Amino acid sequence: MNLNFIFNRISNRRLSKKSQASLLVTILLLLMVIASVAIIWNVVRSTILGSEEQTSGQFACMNAQMEVSYFNATENKLTVRRSQGDSKINVTGCRIFVEKNGFENEIESCTRSFMPLDTEEITISSGISSGNRVRVVSVIGETVCAPGRTFRVK
C-alpha cells in the first residue's frame, strides 16, 4: 500500500467546524488538567518538604534530651546530663527552668556544646528551695526542645 496515498487523503480532508470545535475543547481540557496537576503537585511538595524539616527537628530533640542528675542545695549547683543519642546532633546549650508555686521561670542558661552522656555542673545564681521542680531543656542551634524529665528538689 502506498503511504503517500494515505497521507494525501488525510491531508486533503477538511475538518468540519463541529469537529474542529470538539478537537479544540479536547486540547483545552488536556491543558487545564496538566495545569491543575502541576499546581497540586507544587502544593503537595511544599507541604511534604515542610513537614520533613519539622520532623527532623523533632527527631533531633528526641535524641538530645537533657536532665538534672544531681542538685547540691548548699552550693546551689546542678549537675545536668545529656542522654545517650546521636552524636551527630549538636546540642549548643541548655536552659534551666524552675517551677515555684505553679509558675515556671527560666533561671539559667548555658552555651556549652554537649555530646551524648556529657555532664556539666552549673552554679545557680538564684536560690532553689525544697519542693521546687527543675527542668533542663536542650538547645539545638535556634531550636529550643521540649523539656525532659522533671527533677524535684528534696
Q: Are strands 143-144 and 133-140 parallel, antiparallel or unpaired?
A: antiparallel
Q: Answer whether residue 152 shows pLDDT above 70.
A: yes
Q: How many angstroms separate the CA atoms of 35 and 44, rounded?
A: 14
Extents of the domains making up the chain: 3-60, 65-152
**Which class in CATH covers the domain with range 65-152?**
mainly beta
Q: What is the pLDDT of residues 34-88, one digit of tens each?
A: 999 999 998 888 877 766 666 666 777 877 888 888 888 778 888 888 887 777 8
- For residues 74 and 153, the answer to whether their CB atoms sit within 8 Å is no
Threshold 0.75, pTM exceeds: no
- Which H helix or E strand runs over 72? strand 66-72
What is the per-residue pLDDT across 81-137, written as a single tens digit (0 to 9) for each? Answer: 888 777 788 888 888 888 888 788 778 888 888 888 888 888 887 767 777 888 888
